[in-house]
Amino acid sequence: MPNTIPEKPPHTSNPPPPVFTSQPALHVTNICNFIPITLDQESAQYATWVEFFTIHACAYNVLDHIDSTVPQPSDVNDATWKRLDASVKQWIYGTIHEDLIYTIMKPGATALELWKRLEDLFQDNKHTGVIYLEQQFSNLRLENFSNMTEYYI
């Protein structure tokens, strides 16, 4: 009897291994190395922060997460896109002051939504002024004034 190896039935063949594409944006561990300023409401550095952030997003091919006019790359599946979006959100939160984090944070928001909230905050001078005054008011302490008249002035 000849020694032959039986063929595997088609239903038991192994599936091809999954294809993993490495996304450089997922490997950024310290965003502050790339964006050297922390955005806050009191300093006039919004345009500078946007420029640094946009350059970084472009270099890591995630500009579509902060610019609605840039189409989502066709070679990125939905699961990877969500992971990239989470990374961009981490970059945003990691480069803004804590007060701004609490101002723009919205559970379930995309990076683009957070980006637009920041833009609205800094581009709308009336709104920015109100938030700044609210912040100043909330930091007022009566014990820092010598009398009530000084407190009300």
In a domain, 34, yes or no: yes
pLDDT band with cut points at 50, 70 and 90 for residue 144: confident
Q: Provide the number of structural domains found in the chain.
A: 1
Q: Find the mean pLDDT for residues 51-61.
A: 89
The pLDDT value recorded for residue 71 is 86
In a domain, 3, yes or no: no
13 belongs to a structural domain: no
Conformational region of residue 41, where left means phi above 0, alpha means psi within -120 to 50, and beta covers everything else: alpha
Range of the domain at 78: 26-138
The tens digit of pLDDT for each residue in 1-20 reads 556 665 655 555 566 554 45
CA 11 to chain centre: 45
pLDDT exceeding 70 applies to what percent of the chain? Answer: 73
Q: What's the rounded Cα separation, in Å, for the pair 40 and 79?
A: 32
Residue 9 inside a domain? The answer is no
Let me know if residue 16 belongs to a domain. Answer: no
* Per-residue pLDDT tens digits for 96-127: 999 899 889 999 999 999 999 999 888 866 56
Domain-located, residue 84: yes
- CA neighbor of 113 nearest in space, from 53, 45, 52, 65: 65
Determine, yes or no, domain membership for 48. Answer: yes
Best CA proximity match to 34, nearest among 95, 90, 89: 95
What confidence category does residue 130 fall into, taking pLDDT thresholds of 50, 70 and 90? Answer: low
User: Quick one: pLDDT at residue 49?
Assistant: 93
Asked whether residue 11 is assigned to any structural domain, the reply reads: no
